[in-house]
Structure 1
Amino acid sequence: MSYRLDLSQPLEDETRRIALEQIARARRALAEAPPVEAIHELRKRCKKIRALLRLVRSALGKRYARENRRFRDLARQVSGWRDEQVLLETFDALLAHYRDEIDCRHYTAIRARLKARRERTLADELVGEGKGGEGKGGEGKVGSEGAVDTAALEAALDEARQAVLGWRLKGPQRDAWQAGLAMTYRRLDDAGETAAEEGSVVALHEWRKRVKYHRYHCELLRSLWKAPLTVRAEEAHRLSDLLGEDHDLAMLAAALDDADMQRISAERRQALGSLVARRRLSLQRSAMPLGTRLAAESPKALSKRFKRYRRALPS
């Protein structure tokens, strides 16, 4: 089934169903997909589960913090290689965007450095089944040299599946998602204001995270009113993509100052840095008005609107 709550069913059952489906997809990717796809799938599924947890956090009680930490840490185990892969993809996309203005051959050496970094990180992180040692606490998730063992990741997902089977929601369930929706949207609103005021890499990245959670909440709640919530989720997705590209470019700019890039001429690094700055400015100019529209309502008004959607559903 899709990543959507069936609000005609008990919320507790639906919460477990969706979490279990996301775990199954991540588990299947690790077992069957190439490393690039497997890592991407694992991280995406963990983000979707964390969004689901945020939607029902008030009803989960103390269990929320433990389960949110579980899926956050699981995704972080493979973050290093994914970050390096994104740097290479960001570099390629940047040069493609400005291909009519530049000679891409001037940046071949930089790309070679980025590719080498990616390959080194992949070799460090994916050691394969049976090569990982035990991490702290004997969990067996981290190898003897800090590398992630794919077999241990699969075991961690199996452990997470057992935990999800025990999830219980406290109190009345019918509208238990409303508090989580309101809290996440309020944080989106606050993060957008901070990003507009500061414009820092940290503030923009924090805003993006809040946008993504709101997007997933709109997807989860599509049964309230499919057409408008689908469009809202798509616009939130578009905003998160703009902010995501901006963040990736900021990381690319930072990578140009790393020690392994110092053998590249300063002129070439500065030229690429100028392209990064131009592209980031363009992305931010597109993101800001979209973010203003997405958060045009006050948190209180949005909460009331979604409550009215819920009351309009057949009993």
Structure 2
Amino acid sequence: MNRELSLPKNISVIAAEELEGCFISLETLNIHEAVHDIRKRLKKLRALARLVRDEMGEENYKEINIYFRDLGREISDFRDLTAHIETLNVLEERYGSYLYVNFFNPIITQLDKERDHMEKELRAKNFFSEYLPEKLKYAQDDLVKWPVNSNEIQVILPGIQRVYKRGQKGLNKSYKDPKTENFHEWRKRVKYLWYQTLLLQETWPQFFETLEAEIHQLADYLGNDHDLMVLKKKLNSEDIKLKDPQHLELMNAIIERYSNILRTEAKTKGELIYVETPEEFTKRIGSYTEINWN
């Protein structure tokens, strides 16, 4: 946030910049990079809405959040295929020297073909050239004038406290009951907190840059673990055909090994980030932001 601008102006400027960034990505990046960037920007917009949720009112918040959530879901299957390939490349770099040559190639080849096929289908429907730009244009015209009127920085604190509290609950639930869906929910809460600290960086760069870096690292651990679990589900579906059952068995073992490493790292980092009560964390953030606000 720009300290020289009012809070309402900051909100509208940030929302407009994120949507403009979506159009720039479609025009300048290859389609796989563009879809990845757009999904990140849609999540940032949802995090921004959470920041001023109480100020804008629940009805307005839900309209904005649901619109960007649903738009993100429309490109998630296409993005997942690229994420599968990227995850396999990470596993190959990490464990490839212990395996036979071309161990990962049959899987990557099948995913490449499926992704190419999906891209052709989407392009035949003018998804990237017409449908997606139209959906973004609607958001640009009608969803950036958010009803935020107060210039008091304190109006963001309930949103921060809610996100932090849910993240803290997500941490505890994930390690008490380590199901994939629990880690997935915790990951989302961590990402919202990360985006919110990014938005607040300018109010005290030295503090918020350090906090942002720590939360970003945790988000990466959980994001990589999530990618592993989604890949595992894909490998064990009927979409992927492997001639040797031991190939799948070894893939599952590799995924579980790396997942355990990531979850151990995430636990340590998470316990440090969520060591405070939500009230203590919010009070501290409120003090730091208010001193430097306008």
For this structure pair, what is the TM-score category when the shorter chain's length is used for normalisation?
over 0.9
Matched pairs, number: 293
TM-score for the superposition, normalised by structure 2: 0.94
Equivalent residue for 1:28, pick from 16, 24, 27: 24
Which residue is 1:75 aligned to? 72
**Greater alpha carbon shift after TM alignment, 300-309 vs 173-182:** 173-182
Normalising by structure 1, we get a TM-score of 0.88
Output the aligned Cα RMSD: 1.7
SS at match of 1:84: helix
Query: Residue 78 of structure 1 contacts residue 125 of structure 1 at CA under 8 Å; is this kept in 2?
Result: no
Letter of the 2:47 counterpart: A
Quickly say closer, same or farther: Cα 1:217–1:269, change in 2 above 3 A. Answer: same
- Asked if 2 retains the 8 angstrom alpha-carbon contact of 1:204 and 1:247, the reply is yes
Q: Retained in 2: the 8 A contact 1:107–1:268?
A: no
- The answer to whether structure 1 residue 295 and structure 2 residue 291 are counterparts is no
Which residue number in structure 1 is paired with residue 33 of structure 2? 37
Is the counterpart of residue 91 in structure 1 residue 88 in structure 2? Answer: yes
Aligned to 1:306: 285
Contact 1:242 1:287 in 2 (8 A): yes
SS in 1 for 2:96: coil
Within 2, Cα distance between the matches of 1:169 and 1:12? 5
Q: How does 1:107-186 map to 2 (within 5 A)?
A: 107-127=104-124, 131-132=125-126, 148-170=127-149, 173-186=152-165
Structure ranking higher on relative contact order (CA contacts 8 Å, 6+ apart): 2
User: Which residue of 1 is the match for residue 226 of structure 2?
Assistant: 247
In 2: Cα distance, 1:314 partner to 1:300 partner: 21
Cα distance in 2 for residues equivalent to 1:254 and 1:206? 17
Q: Per-residue deviation at 1:150?
A: 3.1
1:32-88: CA deviation from partner (whole Å, max 9, x where unpaired)? 322112111211111111110000011111211001111111111111110011111
Cα drift, residue 13 of structure 1: 1.0
The 3 A distance-change label for structure 1 pair 151 and 172 is: same
> What residue number does 2:179 align with?
200
CA 1:165/1:118 → structure 2, altered by over 3 Å: closer, same or farther? Answer: closer
SS at match of 1:199: coil
Q: Which deviates more, 22-31 or 118-127? A: 118-127
Q: Which of 18-27 and 255-264 deviates more? A: 255-264
- 8 Å Cα contact 2:19-2:136 kept in structure 1: yes
Contact 2:7 2:151 survives alignment (8 Å): no
Mapped pair 1:213 → 2:192: yes
Q: In structure 2, how many angstroms separate the alpha carbons of the residues matched to 1:211 and 1:196?
A: 15
How many Å separate the matches in 2 of 1:192 and 1:68? 23
CA distance in 2, matches of 1:260, 1:71: 29
Counterpart of 1:50?
Answer: 46
Q: After superposing the two structures, state which structure 1 stretch, 305-314 or 18-27, moved more.
A: 305-314
1:278 maps to: 257
Identify, as 1 or 2, the structure richer in helix: 2
Q: How many angstroms does 1:256 deviate by?
A: 1.7
**Which whole-Å CA distance do the structure 2 matches of 1:17 and 1:225 have between them?**
20
Residue 75 of structure 2 aligns to which amino acid in structure 1?
V
Check the 8 A contact 1:84/1:121 in 2, yes or no: no
Alpha-carbon shift at residue 308 of structure 1 (Å): 1.7
Give ranges in structure 1 of 5+ residues lacking alignment: 133-147
Structure 2 residue identity aligned to 1:125: L
C-alpha displacement of 1:174: 3.5
Cα 1:263–1:218 change in 2 (3 A) is closer
Tell me if 1:18 matches 2:9: no
Q: Are the counterparts in 2 of residues 221 and 229 from structure 1 also a CA contact under 8 Å?
A: yes
Are positions 1:229 and 2:208 aligned together? yes
Distance 1:314 1:232 in 2: 18
